[in-house]
C-alpha cells in the first residue's frame, strides 16, 4: 500500500448516519489511518417531502455520490438498504460491514398493547411507517390496522408513538446502534422471517471511486465476506425484480453451519396488496436468486390440500387465495372433548397444539393469576389469543426438542426452584416436550381431548399436501399413496418422522409451524 493519506468520509447529518460514519472512522483510525468527516445534505433529509414526492432512486445518497465523483470525499458510508442496485458510472461498492440485527421492531405505546391480538396491538391501532414493504406485510397480518406515513430521524419517529400514534415500526439496527432508551414502550421484536426486511437491512456499504486503487485496498480491510455472500443473493433478487428501496419488496438471507443459504422473500405490486411470500434454501447462490425471482414474478397456480380446517379470515387461507391456488382443507381426525377438573396450581401451562388450547379453554378453567402460558409455536399461540389469553412464551423451531430447551431457558430466568408445568394434551399424546425436559421440570399432564382417525373422507389428488400432525399422516397414508411428483410439507419434525415411517422421505418442513411458515412453502 502507498503512504497513508488523510481519508475524508462523506455522510448525511442525521444521528444514525453520523453514528455509521464515526463507527467507520474509528475502525480506520484503529488501522492507522487519519480520517475526517464531511457532512452532506441529501434530498432524503428534506422531511417536509413524502417519499412519493421525491423523484428517482437514491434520494438518500445522490448528493454524497456526486461529492465522491467530484473528489470532495474519498469514502461514502451508506445504509446499504438505501442504495439502488446499480452504482453510478465511476463509483464502486468496495466493501460492506458486519450485519447488525436485520429485524423490524414494533414500538408500542403501553396504552395500545393487547397481548391477545397478533403483534400485541389493540384493534384498529394507528401504526407509523412510510415503508410500502412494511405496510404490505403488516396489513396481511392485521388488516384492521391504520397505517400512517411518518418522516424524520429515528428519535423523531420514535417519539410519535408517545404522542399521535399507537406504535411505530423501525429497524432494529438503528435502535441498537443509537442505544436509545426504549423503557417507555412495549417492544415487539419481529423476526426477519416473520417481517421480511429490506435487502441488506442492518449493513453498512462503503462506496469509493472505481479508479481509486488506494481506497480499494483501504476498504478491503473493512470488508465482511460472509455477510457479502448473503447480500449478493438479496440484492440480486431485488435487482431482478426491478425494485428500489421504496418498493414493497423484502428479501432476507442467512447461511447455516452446513453452508446452506436460507432465503425469505416477499413481493407486492402495491403497499395495500397481499404479499406473495416464499421460503427456499440451497447452496447455489445464482440458482437461489433466479428461483426466488421466478417464484415471485411468475407464481404457478397449484392444487393444495392441508389436513386442518382453514378459517376464511386466517392468514393461510388468504395467502392461498392470493397465490390463486385451488385448495381443500380439513382434518382427517375426529376430535372430542374430555372433561377435567381439580387442576393443580402450576407456574406454567404449556400447549403443544391448537387443539389442546381449544379444548382446554373451551371448558373455562380457572387459572391462578400468576400462571404463565406457553405455546409450542406460532399457530398454537394464535389459537390461545383467539380464546382471549395472552401468550408469555412462543417456540421458534420446527423441532419439539429444540422448543423445549428454548422454553426452559426462557422460563427459568435464573430461578433456582424447579418449574411446575401443566400440559393439556390429547389422550394419545406423544409427550415430546415432557420427555425432553424430564428431571428438569415437574410435569402435570391432563387429558383435555381425544382424537381418532376418521375413515369417511374422499380427497382430491393435489400437487401440494400439507400435513399438520402425525395422526393426519397416518390417516392419509393408510388410504392414499403419495407420489414423488407431489410436494409434501410436514409442519414439524414429529410429523416428518411419521411420513418417513410410510417411506415418504422427500418432504420439506416450513421455517416455522405457524400459518405464515406454511404459506411461505406453498409454491
pLDDT tens digits, residue range 67-94?
A: 999 999 999 999 999 998 888 999 999 9
In a domain, 231, yes or no: no
In a domain, 311, yes or no: yes
In a domain, 116, yes or no: yes
Separation of alpha carbons 351 and 434, rounded Å: 11
The enclosing domain of 143 has a CATH number of 3.40.190.10
The closest of 186, 142, 146 to 382, measured between CA atoms, is 142
Residues 95 and 209 in one domain: yes
Residues 23 and 155 in one domain: no
Residues 116 and 184 in one domain: yes
Residue 62 has pLDDT above 90, yes or no: no
In a domain, 157, yes or no: yes
Give phi and psi for 75, each to the nearest 5.
-145, 130
Out of 417, 451, 485, a domain closes at 451
pLDDT tens digits, residue range 381-396?
A: 999 999 999 999 999 9
Confidence of residue 457 (pLDDT cuts 50, 70, 90): confident
Count of helix runs (H) and strand runs (E) in the chain: 16, 23
Out of 432, 451, 470, a domain closes at 451
pLDDT tens digits, residue range 247-271?
A: 899 999 999 999 999 999 999 999 9
Q: Give the domain range for residue 348.
A: 337-451
Separation of alpha carbons 274 and 319, rounded Å: 7
Identify the weakest region by mean pLDDT among 10-14, 99-103, 314-318, 506-510.
10-14
Is the CB of residue 484 less than 8 Å from the CB of residue 506? yes
Separation of alpha carbons 330 and 344, rounded Å: 34
Residues 93 and 108 in one domain: no
Break the chain down into helix, strand, coil percent, rounded to 5.
35, 25, 45
Q: What is the DSSP string of 47-101?
A: TTS-GGGS-SS-TTTHHHHHHHHTTS-SEEEEEGGGS-SSPPTTEEEEEEEEE--
Residue with cell 382427517: 332
Residues 127 and 210 in one domain: no
Q: Is 1 helix (H, G, I), strand (E, B) or coil?
A: coil
Residues 61 and 145 in one domain: no
CA distance readout (Å), 310 to 127, 306, 314 = 28, 8, 7
The closest of 62, 89, 519 to 317, measured between CA atoms, is 519
In a domain, 173, yes or no: yes
Residue 53 has pLDDT above 90, yes or no: no
Domain total in the chain:
4
Residues 216 and 83 in one domain: yes
Residue 58 has pLDDT above 80, yes or no: no
Residues 341 and 436 in one domain: yes
The single residue of 30, 52, 74, 82 carrying the catalytic annotation is 82
Out of 140, 164, 190, a domain closes at 190
DSSP E strand boundaries for 243-312? 249-255, 261-267, 276-282, 303-306
Is the CB of residue 141 less than 8 Å from the CB of residue 163? no
The enclosing domain of 391 has a CATH number of 3.40.50.10090
β partners of residue 254: 262
82 is catalytic: yes
Share of the chain above pLDDT 90, in %: 87
Give the N- to C-terminal CA distance of the chain in Å, as an integer: 51
In a domain, 275, yes or no: no
In a domain, 270, yes or no: no
Residues 91 and 108 in one domain: no
Separation of alpha carbons 214 and 471, rounded Å: 65
Residues 435 and 466 in one domain: no
Buried b (16+ CB within 10 A) or exposed e, 18-46: bbbbeebbeebeeeeeebebeebebbbbe
pLDDT tens digits, residue range 144-169?
A: 999 999 988 899 999 999 999 999 99
In a domain, 251, yes or no: no
What per-residue confidence (pLDDT) applies to 44?
55
What per-residue confidence (pLDDT) applies to 55?
36
Is the CB of residue 77 less than 8 Å from the CB of residue 48? no
Residues 421 and 488 in one domain: no
Is the CB of residue 127 less than 8 Å from the CB of residue 169? yes
Is the CB of residue 238 less than 8 Å from the CB of residue 85? yes
Q: What is the mean pLDDT of the chain?
A: 93
Residues 16 and 93 in one domain: yes
Whether the full predicted model's pTM is greater than 0.95, yes or no, is no
What per-residue confidence (pLDDT) applies to 51?
46
Is the CB of residue 113 less than 8 Å from the CB of residue 93? no
Q: Is 476 helix (H, G, I), strand (E, B) or coil?
A: helix
Residue 311 has pLDDT above 50, yes or no: yes
Amino acid at each position: 500500500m502507498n503512504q497513508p493519506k488523510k481519508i475524508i468520509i462523506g455522510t448525511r447529518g442525521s444521528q444514525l448516519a453520523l453514528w455509521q460514519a464515526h463507527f467507520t472512522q474509528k475502525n480506520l483510525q484503529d488501522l492507522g489511518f487519519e480520517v475526517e468527516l464531511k457532512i452532506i445534505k441529501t434530498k432524503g433529509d428534506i422531511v417536509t417531502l413524502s417519499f412519493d414526492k421525491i423523484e428517482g432512486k437514491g434520494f438518500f445518497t445522490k448528493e454524497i455520490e456526486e461529492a465522491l465523483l467530484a473528489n470532495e470525499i474519498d469514502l461514502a458510508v451508506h445504509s446499504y438498504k438505501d442504495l439502488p442496485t446499480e452504482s453510478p458510472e465511476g463509483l464502486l461498492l468496495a466493501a460492506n460491514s458486519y450485519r447488525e440485527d436485520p429485524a423490524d421492531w414494533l414500538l408500542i405505546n403501553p396504552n395500545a398493547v393487547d397481548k391477545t391480538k397478533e403483534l400485541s396491538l389493540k384493534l384498529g391501532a394507528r401504526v407509523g411507517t412510510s415503508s410500502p414493504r412494511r405496510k404490505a406485510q403488516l396489513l396481511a397480518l392485521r388488516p384492521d390496522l391504520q397505517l400512517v406515513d411518518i418522516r424524520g430521524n429515528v428519535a423523531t419517529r420514535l417519539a410519535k408513538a408517545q404522542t399521535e400514534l399507537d406504535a411505530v415500526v423501525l429497524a432494529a439496527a438503528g435502535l441498537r446502534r443509537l442505544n436509545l432508551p426504549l423503557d417507555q414502550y412495549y417492544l415487539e421484536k419481529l423476526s426477519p422471517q416473520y417481517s421480511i426486511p429490506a435487502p441488506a437491512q442492518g449493513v453498512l456499504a462503503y462506496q469509493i471511486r472505481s479508479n481509486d486503487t488506494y481506497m480499494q485496498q483501504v476498504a478491503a480491510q473493512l470488508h465482511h465476506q460472509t455477510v457479502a455472500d448473503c447480500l449478493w443473493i438479496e440484492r440480486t433478487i431485488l435487482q431482478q425484480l426491478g425494485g428500489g428501496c421504496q418498493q414493497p419488496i423484502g428479501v432476507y438471507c442467512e447461511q447455516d453451519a452446513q453452508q446452506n443459504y436460507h432465503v425469505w422473500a416477499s413481493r407486492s405490486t402495491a403497499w395495500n396488496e397481499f404479499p406473495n411470500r416464499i421460503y427456499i434454501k440451497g447452496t447455489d447462490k445464482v440458482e437461489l436468486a433466479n428461483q426466488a425471482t421466478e417464484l415471485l414474478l411468475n407464481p404457478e397456480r397449484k392444487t393444495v390440500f392441508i389436513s386442518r380446517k382453514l378459517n376464511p379470515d386466517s392468514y393461510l387461507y388468504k395467502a392461498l387465495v392470493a397465490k390463486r391456488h385451488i385448495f381443500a382443507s380439513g382434518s382427517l381426525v375426529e376430535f372430542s372433548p374430555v372433561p377435567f377438573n381439580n387442576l393443580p396450581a402450576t407456574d406454567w401451562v404449556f400447549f403443544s397444539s391448537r387443539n389442546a388450547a381449544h379444548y382446554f379453554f373451551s371448558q373455562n378453567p380457572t387459572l391462578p393469576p400468576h400462571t404463565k402460558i406457553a405455546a409450542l409455536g406460532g399457530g398454537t399461540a394464535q389459537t390461545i389469543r383467539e380464546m382471549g389469553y395472552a401468550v408469555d412464551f412462543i417456540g421458534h423451531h420446527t423441532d419439539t426438542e429444540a422448543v423445549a430447551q428454548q422454553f426452559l431457558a426462557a422460563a427459568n430466568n435464573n430461578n433456582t426452584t424447579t418449574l411446575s408445568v401443566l400440559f393439556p394434551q390429547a389422550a394419545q399424546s406423544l409427550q415430546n416436550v415432557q420427555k425432553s425436559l424430564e428431571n428438569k421440570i415437574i410435569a402435570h399432564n391432563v387429558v383435555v381431548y381425544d382424537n381418532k382417525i376418521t375413515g369417511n373422507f374422499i380427497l382430491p389428488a393435489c400437487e401440494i399436501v400439507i400435513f399438520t400432525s402425525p395422526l393426519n399422516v397416518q390417516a392419509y397414508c393408510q388410504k392414499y399413496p403419495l407420489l414423488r411428483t407431489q410436494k409434501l410439507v410436514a409442519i414439524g419434525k414429529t410429523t416428518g418422522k411419521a411420513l418417513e415411517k410410510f417411506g415418504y422421505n422427500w418432504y420439506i418442513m416450513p421455517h416455522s409451524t405457524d400459518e405464515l411458515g406454511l404459506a411461505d412453502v406453498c409454491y
